[in-house]
Amino acid sequence: MRIEVAGENSLIIYFGDTTVPEISEQVQRASKALAEALGDRIIDQVTSYASLLLIFDPLRCDQLDIRAVIRRTLQSTTATQTDQTDASVQQSTSNCVELPVYYSEESGPELTLISKNSGLSIDEIIALHQSLTYRVYAIGFAPGFAFLGQVDERIATPRLSTPRLKVPRGAIGIADRQTAIYPDVSPGGWNLIGLCPTRMFDPQATPTMPVSVGDEVRFKAISREEFFSLGGEIGVLS
């Protein structure tokens, strides 16, 4: 673990340099423990794959104060964790969310490209994508854009060389070994393989997002008719 300055009133804690569930769980435990320890001295926290950004109130504390609390809290958290199993921690801190997907060449224009590059049929690609349970490693880029990992290496595909100017809401993409759902219409360079009718961000809903960092996600294939019955739309690509 290392702590670095990220701004006048922010510090970033690095827990490792790899994308693995164990490090992601450390980030989640640290976020919860520090929220309790720091209380209203913290303005915001941003969790990522292997790091945690803390933004603190400079009128209530300074970087030396925060560093001391971080080290003391995380040492205590680590000591406590030695008496618990990974399974029990995972069970108590995460949810498993199932999301429906309309997989097809109509809704997933890069299915053909991935098939050509991998040597797999489109049906095999779809089966592989929905066969795994994915961890929510981070939420960013746009509200509700959850970075999920990791896809089967046989369908891992680099980002498009030229990003699209317009990707429809609900589009499911693959970028290397990550997969994600576009929460709204936006530019994007991920390889699109389907559409999800579930809103990934709704400011009028409670909660505003169906998933949080640390949750697990599974995809379930649905028909075109089911997709439309659930409120899905075939957006225009550009």
Mind listing the pLDDT tens digit of every residue in the chain (238 residues)? 899 999 999 999 999 988 888 998 999 899 999 999 999 999 999 998 899 999 999 999 999 999 999 999 998 877 665 555 444 444 445 799 999 999 999 999 999 999 999 999 999 999 999 999 999 999 988 999 999 999 999 999 999 999 999 999 999 999 999 999 999 999 999 999 999 999 999 999 999 999 999 999 999 999 999 999 999 999 888 7
| Backbone CA torsion sign across 206, 210, 212, 214 | positive
At the topology level, CATH places domain 95-229 in Cyclophilin (2.40.100)
Say if residues 107 and 234 touch (Cβ distance below 8 Å). Answer: yes
Neighbours of 36 (CB within 10 A): 9
> What is the C-alpha end-to-end distance of the chain, expressed in Å?
43
> Please, how many CA atoms are within 13 Å of residue 54, restricted to the half-sphere of its CB?
32
Fold agreement (2-91, 95-229)? no
Task: Supply the DSSP string of 112-172, one letter for each residue.
Answer: HHHHHHH---HHHHHHHHTTS-EEEEEE-SSTT-EEEE---TTS-BPPPSS-EEEE-TTEE
CA gap 220, 216 in Å, rounded: 13
Residue 21 contacts residue 215 (beta carbons within 8 Å): no
The yes/no answer on whether domain 2-91 falls in CATH 3.30.1360.40 is: yes
SS3 state at 174 = strand
Spell out the domain ranges in the chain.
Answer: 2-91, 95-229
